[in-house]
Amino acid sequence: MLSDPHTSSVSNKMLWTGYIISALPVLMLLFSGIMKLMQPASVMEGFVRLGYPENVALGIGVVELACVALYVTPHTSILGAILLTGYLGGATATHLRVGEPFFMPIVLGIMVWGGLFFRDARLRELIPLDQKRRA
């Protein structure tokens, strides 16, 4: 069996920590994207309340699901995290604009990057938090 070069230098403990941290934002974004595709009345009412026309729900749902798919695929996970950061930034701005609580997209974004940090050695090389490595 071939090992994944992105996770081969990651201990099982770190890998599973990354999977667990990544699971919540992935599940929440999958649910959100699927609901946008299904377009139940409550989701459409939310779009109107947030100031978006109903006809953009499908496109936003497709973009959301595509970003999640890139994020959960090891070879494109960093690209997925970057795109999810933009997506969640838009969600934060939307909630700020209408005066609603805006912390959830920020927390999800932190979890997206935190989970990826634990499960992808490339990101740890790019952002070395270990002080011994900087010397």
pTM for the complete prediction?
A: 0.86
What angle do helix axes 57-72 and 77-98 make, rounded to 10 degrees?
Answer: 140
What would the pLDDT profile of 78-115 be if each residue is shown by its tens digit? 999 999 999 999 999 999 999 999 999 999 999 999 99
Report pLDDT digits (tens) over 23-37: 999 999 999 999 999
d(CA 67, CA 26): 10
Residue with tokens 């890139």: 70
Domain boundaries, the chain: 12-128
pLDDT at 99: 96
Cα gap 98→87, rounded to integer Å: 17
